[in-house]
């Protein structure tokens, strides 16, 4: 099905390890986003991209890096994982006119850092 | 800055009961407003939206009206079903041309038979 695909779905890391979360969309959307979801906190924006080759910081960017080398892919990296990064991570994408179309979300990656 | 405040949950209702989930917002300009729904183990899905004052968004029996005078976008459904059990998020954007959403903290709804 067309949409946003996130890999992996689950991961357990040890403190200090690194990993990359992959987000792929096949809708030719210009804009892509990484959010984290924590109990009682809602969704918080980590980083976003307004087009291929561009990235920008969101609300909670510390400890994360991103890259958008291809329009359809948006990667989220953790260089040195910490227990505070235990969360569910959601990728989303959108057309430019957000007011008309909103976001399309992936199904999430549940990350546990021990 | 922009912010969204939702009623705290969890909310537990019997099947066929009336549902209201309150949402108020703070924003400059003329934001667009959204309700998203997240079923267990899944990502968020757009439920309905409204892009200007007095607009009513509707989908799957849910409705919400964009009230600029009270800065509100309350979600309602006349008769809930067990399958409506989910977490509901209110969100706003800064309007046409914006590309960021600000989310509320979510309200968990449980519907019991």
Query: What parts of chain A have a pLDDT lower than 50?
Result: none
Answer whether B45 touches A (CB < 8 Å): yes
For residue A82, the model assigns a pLDDT of 97
> How do residues A67-98 score in pLDDT, each as one tens digit?
999 999 999 999 999 999 999 999 999 886 55
- B106 close to A42: Cβ distance less than 8 angstroms: yes
pLDDT given for residue B97 in this prediction: 55
The whole-number pLDDT of residue B95 equals 56
- Decide if A91 contacts A6 (C-beta within 8 A): yes
CA distance A16 to chain B (A): 27
Strands (E) across chain A are located at 4-7, 10-13, 19-25, 31-38, 42-49, 56-57, 64-67, 73-78, 87-94, 104-105, 109-113
What secondary structure letter does DSSP report for B19?
E
> How far does the CA of residue B102 sit from the closest CA of chain A (Å)?
8
Nearest residue in B to A49, CA atom: B99
- Please tell me which of the candidates A40, A99, A106 has its beta carbon nearest to residue B93: A99
Three-state secondary-structure class, residue A8: coil
| Chain B CB contacts of A51 below 8 Å | none
* Whether the bond into B10 is cis, omega within 30 of 0: yes
The count of CB pairs under 8 A between chains A and B is: 62
Touching check for B46 and chain A: CB below 8 Å? yes
CA-derived radius of gyration, chain B: 13
Give pLDDT, residue B33.
92
Which residues in chain A are closer than 8 Å to B44, comparing Cβ atoms?
43, 90, 92, 103, 105
Query: pLDDT tens per residue, chain B (113 residues)?
Result: 788 999 888 999 999 999 999 999 998 878 889 999 999 888 899 999 998 899 999 999 999 999 999 999 999 999 999 999 999 999 998 755 556 788 999 999 999 99
Residue B10's pLDDT is 94
Instruction: Specify the pLDDT at position B2.
Output: 83
**How far is the alpha carbon of A114 from chain B, nearest alpha carbon, in Å?**
22
Residue B75's pLDDT is what?
Answer: 98
Is the CA virtual torsion A66, B28, B95, B92 positive or negative? Answer: positive
What pLDDT was estimated at residue B72? Answer: 97
A106 touches chain B (CB under 8 A): yes
What is the reported pLDDT for B43?
87
Residue with tokens 């667009």: B32
């Amino acid at each position: 099905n067309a949409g946003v695909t996130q890999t992996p779905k689950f991961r357990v890391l040890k403190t200090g390890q690194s990993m990359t979360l992959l987000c792929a969309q096949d809708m030719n959307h210009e804009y892509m986003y990484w959010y984290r979801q924590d109990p009682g906190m809602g969704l918080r924006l980590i980083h976003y991209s307004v087009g291929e080759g561009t990235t920008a910081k969101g609300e909670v960017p510390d400890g994360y890096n991103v890259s958008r080398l291809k329009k359809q892919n948006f990667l989220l990296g953790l260089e040195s994982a910490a227990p505070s990064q235990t969360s569910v991570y959601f990728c989303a994408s959108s057309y430019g006119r957000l007011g008309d179309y909103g976001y399309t979300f992936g199904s999430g990656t549940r990350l546990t850092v021990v | 800055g922009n912010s969204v405040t939702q009623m705290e949950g969890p909310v537990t209702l019997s099947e066929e009961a009336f549902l209201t989930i309150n949402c108020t917002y703070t924003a400059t300009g003329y934001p667009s407003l959204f309700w998203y729904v997240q079923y267990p183990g899944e990502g968020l899905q757009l439920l309905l939206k409204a892009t200007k004052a007095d607009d009513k968004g509707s989908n799957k029996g849910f409705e919400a009206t964009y009230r600029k005078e009270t800065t509100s976008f309350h979600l309602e459904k006349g008769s809930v079903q067990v399958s409506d059990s989910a977490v509901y998020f209110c969100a706003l954007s800064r309007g046409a041309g914006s590309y960021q959403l600000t989310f509320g903290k979510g309200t968990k709804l449980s519907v019991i038979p």
